[in-house]
């Protein structure tokens, strides 16, 4: 009896002695077990092939990485290398002298307004979280000055009174 086809009971099967039917059932079970063992072997073979393919891919990736590293080492040997100290010395030598980029006849930069306000804050110990306008108002109050004109002129006046103008 085939295990795939539906089991159809016929008169001939019923007439067989129980021992014969049992022997046939055992034979069918053994065939099914053999098919199962074959399928298991095929699955194991596929797993081995997959593991082998993965090992091959890993080996190829390792070889590619080694080849790339060797190529980089070779490329680096083609270029001269200098020490870090030599690099710093060369960078220092290549710096432009002070004032090299100032326009002829231009006044030296006295700093930005923000720099000037920071200087006033530091000298008068004013809270650095205050805005520029609030800082100048506080500085005017501390120095006993009357706020006149735009903020920049007030900053310049404060610096002059404090003796900090550059």
pTM exceeds 0.95: no
Least confidently predicted of 82-96, 111-125, 140-154: 82-96
Q: How many helices (H) and strands (E) does the chain have?
A: 6, 0
Mean pLDDT of 63-79: 86
pLDDT in tens, 42-63: 999 999 999 999 999 999 999 9
pLDDT classification of 85: cutoffs 50, 70, 90: confident
Count Cβ atoms within 10 A of the Cβ of residue 65 and give its class: 0-12 exposed, 13-18 middle, 19 or more buried: exposed
> How far is C-alpha 34 from the chain's CA centre?
54
Q: Is 135 helix (H, G, I), strand (E, B) or coil?
A: helix
State residue 52's pLDDT score: 93
């Amino acid at each position: 009896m085939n295990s795939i086809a539906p089991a159809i009971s016929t008169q001939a099967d019923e007439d067989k002695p129980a021992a014969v039917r049992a022997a046939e059932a055992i034979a069918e079970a053994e065939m099914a077990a053999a098919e199962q063992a074959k399928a298991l072997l095929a699955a194991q073979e596929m797993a081995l092939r997959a593991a082998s393919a993965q090992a091959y891919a890993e080996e190829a990736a390792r070889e590619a990485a080694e080849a790339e590293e060797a190529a980089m080492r070779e490329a680096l040997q083609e270029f001269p290398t200098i020490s870090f100290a030599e690099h710093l010395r060369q960078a220092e030598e290549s710096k432009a002298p002070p004032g090299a980029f100032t326009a002829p006849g231009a006044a030296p930069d006295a700093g930005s307004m923000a720099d000037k306000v920071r200087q006033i804050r530091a000298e008068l110990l004013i809270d650095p979280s205050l805005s520029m306008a609030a800082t100048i108002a506080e500085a005017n109050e501390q120095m006993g000055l009357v706020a006149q004109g735009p903020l920049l002129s007030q900053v310049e006046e404060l610096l002059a009174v404090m003796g900090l103008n550059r």
